[in-house]
C-alpha cells in the first residue's frame, strides 16, 4: 500500500461532483487488485496538463493506482450507470469494466474524469470479468492521442499498465488497465437510463448537473433544457464533421458511445480509411454496415433524436408540444453538420471564401477518388504539395477538375502561399494507418517490444508537420490488406 505522504506528492486534486447526483446514477465500487502490475506507457504531457507529478506516478506506488491495487489520495471509486441503443436495440448497460476514481481539478481549474478501464467487475458487468487485454488498451492509447493531435475532441490516455494476469477471450491474452481522461463520461445513454428508470426530478437533476459542468453559459437562460439540446446538437455536428474530414471511422456509434461533452469516446473497433469509399466498414460486428463511414453523419442525427426524446418532459409539460419543439431542433442538425463539413473541405482545398458551387466541386473530387480507388489522406496531401504525386493526375477527369479547382482558388484575395499554407494545416501528413497500428500492437503483445509503438506515437504527435521522418508512415498499405482489414471491440 502507498503511504499518505507519497499519495499527497502525486498531485491528485479530486472532487466528486458526479457522486452528488442521486444514487441511481452510480454504484460505489473499488477496483479489484491484480498480481504484478507493470507500467507500459505514460503520457508525460497529459500529466503536466492535469497538474499531477509524472515522476511520482511512474513509481511503484503510482503504478499501483493505475492497476487498481490502491486508491489515490482523495479518490472515491464508482461505476456509472447508463443505457443505450446498441446497433439500434435498446438495453441496460453501465460501466461493466470501468471505474471512475474521481474528477481531477487542474491548476487551470479545469475538471477531468480519471477513469480506470479494465480494473475488474462492477455491478454492471453482466457476467463479464471486468478486465481488458493489452492490445485493445494500447490501441485506445494510440488512437486517442492521434485524434488529439489531429485537433479532434477526444478522451485521452494517461497510462497503460499490464496486470501480470491473463484474460480469457478467444485465447489467453495479457491483461492490462488503461487510465482514461475525459471532460466527463456523461453519455446520451446516461440520459436514456434516466428517462427509462428515473423520475422526472432525477432526470432534471442530471440535466442541471450536465449544464453546470459542460454548458454553464446557458444556465440562466429562459429555456435551459432547450439550450442544452441545441448545445449538444451543435457539438456533435462539429465532432462528426471532423471525423469525416480525416477519414476516421468510429465503428460503434451506439448511443452509449456519444458523449454530451462532444468528445470522441470508445476506441474499440475504430480505424482510419485508406482507399476512399463511403461504404467502408472495418468493425467485425457491424455486419450490416450501420456505422459505415458514409453513414456516420445520419447516425449522429439518429442518436441526437434519441437524446431529444429523453428531454421531452423538461422541454414542455404538454407532450405533443415537447415533441414539436424537439423535432424542430433535430431538423437543424443536417445543415449544421453540412456547414461544418463544407468549411473543412474548403480548407482542405485551399479555399477561404464561400461560393454556391463549392459543394459540387468537392463532390466531383470525391467521386473521382472513389472511381480511381485513391487513398483519402494522401490525395489531399498531394493536392497540397504536388498533384503529380496522384496516381490519376494524368486522367482526363482530373485534368478537367484541376482546371476548375485552380480557377476557383484564383477567385480569392489571398496569395497562393496563403492558400497552400491553409491546405497543409488542414491535411495531415500522417494518420494512424491501420497496418502500422497493428504492427505496433503485434510487437507489444507478442514480443513485449514497445519501441515500435513509441516510434509511431512520436510520428503521430504532430501530423501537420509534413516532415521527412513521417514519409515512411504516410505510405498506404497494399489494397488487399486495406480491404481485408477488420477491427474488434476488445470485450
Q: So which residues are the catalytic ones? A: 256
Q: What's 290's DSSP letter?
A: T
Instruction: Report the alpha-carbon distance of residue 354 to residue 23 in Å, rounded.
Output: 50
Instruction: Report the alpha-carbon distance of residue 138 to residue 43 in Å, rounded.
Output: 12
Q: Check if the beta carbon of residue 42 is closer than 8 Å to that of residue 54.
A: yes
Distances (CA, A) of 458 to 142, 440, 454, 462: 10, 12, 6, 8
Q: Which residues have C-beta within 8 Å of that of residue 208, sequence separation ≥ 6? A: 224
Q: Which residues have C-beta within 8 Å of that of residue 458, sequence separation ≥ 6? A: none
CA gyration radius, the chain:
23
Distances (CA, A) of 318 to 203, 281, 308, 313, 322: 17, 42, 15, 8, 6
Q: Check if the beta carbon of residue 86 is closer than 8 Å to that of residue 189.
A: no
Q: What's 177's DSSP letter?
A: E
Q: Which residues have C-beta within 8 Å of that of residue 388, sequence separation ≥ 6? A: 382
> Alpha helix locations (H) across 104-169?
134-149
Closest listed residue to residue 306, CA positions, set 469, 193, 392: 193
3-state secondary structure 406-457: HHHHHCCCCCHHHHHHHHHHHCCCCCCCHHHHHHHHHHHHHHCCCHHHHHHH
Q: Check if the beta carbon of residue 262 is closer than 8 Å to that of residue 239.
A: yes
Burial of 1 (0-12, 13-18, 19+ CB in 10 A): exposed
Cα 176 to chain centroid, rounded: 20
Instruction: Report the alpha-carbon distance of residue 231 to residue 237 in Å, rounded.
Output: 10
Q: Which residue has the cell 511503484?
A: 60
Amino acid at each position: 500500500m502507498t503511504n499518505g505522504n507519497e499519495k499527497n506528492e502525486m498531485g491528485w486534486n479530486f472532487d466528486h461532483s458526479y457522486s452528488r447526483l442521486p444514487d441511481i446514477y452510480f454504484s460505489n465500487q473499488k477496483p479489484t487488485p491484480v498480481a504484478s502490475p507493470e507500467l507500459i506507457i505514460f503520457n508525460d504531457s497529459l500529466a503536466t496538463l492535469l497538474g499531477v507529478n509524472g515522476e511520482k506516478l511512474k513509481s511503484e506506488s503510482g503504478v499501483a493506482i493505475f492497476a487498481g491495487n490502491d486508491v489515490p489520495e482523495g479518490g472515491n471509486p464508482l461505476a456509472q450507470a447508463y443505457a443505450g441503443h446498441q446497433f439500434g436495440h435498446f438495453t441496460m448497460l453501465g460501466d461493466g469494466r470501468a471505474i471512475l476514481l474521481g474528477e481531477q481539478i487542474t491548476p487551470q481549474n479545469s475538471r477531468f474524469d480519471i477513469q480506470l478501464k479494465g480494473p475488474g467487475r462492477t455491478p454492471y458487468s453482466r457476467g463479464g470479468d471486468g478486465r481488458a487485454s493489452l492490445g485493445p488498451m494500447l490501441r485506445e492509447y494510440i488512437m486517442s492521442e492521434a485524434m488529439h493531435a489531429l485537433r479532434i475532441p477526444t478522451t485521452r490516455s494517461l497510462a497503460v499498465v499490464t496486470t501480470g494476469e491473463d484474460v480469457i477471450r478467444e485465447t489467453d491474452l495479457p491483461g492490462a488497465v488503461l487510465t482514461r481522461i475525459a471532460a466527463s463520461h456523461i453519455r446520451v445513454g446516461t440520459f436514456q437510463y434516466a428517462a427509462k428508470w428515473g423520475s422526472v426530478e432525477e432526470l432534471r437533476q442530471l440535466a442541471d448537473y450536465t449544464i453546470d459542468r459542460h454548458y454553464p453559459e446557458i444556465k440562466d437562460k429562459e429555456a435551459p433544457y432547450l439550450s442544452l439540446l441545441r448545445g449538444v446538437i451543435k457539438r456533435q455536428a462539429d465532432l462528426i464533421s471532423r471525423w469525416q474530414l480525416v477519414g476516421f471511422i468510429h465503428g460503434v456509434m451506439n448511443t452509449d458511445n456519444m458523449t454530451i461533452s462532444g468528445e470522441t469516446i470508445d476506441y474499440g473497433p475504430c480505424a482510419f480509411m485508406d482507399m476512399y469509399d463511403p461504404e467502408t466498414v472495418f468493425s467485425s460486428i457491424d455486419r450490416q454496415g450501420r456505422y459505415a463511414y458514409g453513414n456516420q453523419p445520419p447516425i449522429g442525427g439518429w442518436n441526437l433524436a434519441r437524446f431529444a426524446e429523453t428531454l421531452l418532459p423538461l422541454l414542455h409539460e404538454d407532450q405533443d408540444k415537447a415533441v414539436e419543439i424537439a423535432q424542430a431542433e433535430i431538423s437543424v442538425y443536417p445543415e449544421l453538420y453540412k456547414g461544418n463539413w463544407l468549411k473543412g473541405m474548403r480548407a482542405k482545398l485551399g479555399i477561404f471564401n464561400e461560393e454556391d458551387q463549392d459543394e459540387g466541386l468537392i463532390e466531383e473530387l470525391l467521386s473521382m477518388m472513389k472511381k480511381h480507388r485513391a487513398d483519402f489522406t494522401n490525395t489531399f496531401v498531394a493536392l497540397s504539395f504536388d498533384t503529380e504525386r496522384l496516381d490519376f493526375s494524368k486522367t482526363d477527369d482530373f485534368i478537367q477538375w484541376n482546371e476548375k479547382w485552380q480557377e476557383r482558388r484564383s477567385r480569392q484575395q489571398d496569395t497562393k502561399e496563403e492558400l497552400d499554407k491553409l491546405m497543409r494545416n488542414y491535411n495531415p501528413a500522417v494518420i494512424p494507418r491501420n497496418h502500422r497500428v497493428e504492427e505496433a500492437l503485434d510487437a507489444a503483445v507478442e514480443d513485449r517490444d514497445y519501441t515500435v509503438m513509441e516510434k509511431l506515437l512520436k510520428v503521430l504527435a504532430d501530423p501537420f508537420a509534413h516532415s521527412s521522418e513521417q514519409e515512411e508512415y504516410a505510405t498506404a498499405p497494399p489494397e488487399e490488406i486495406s480491404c481485408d482489414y477488420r477491427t474488434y471491440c476488445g470485450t
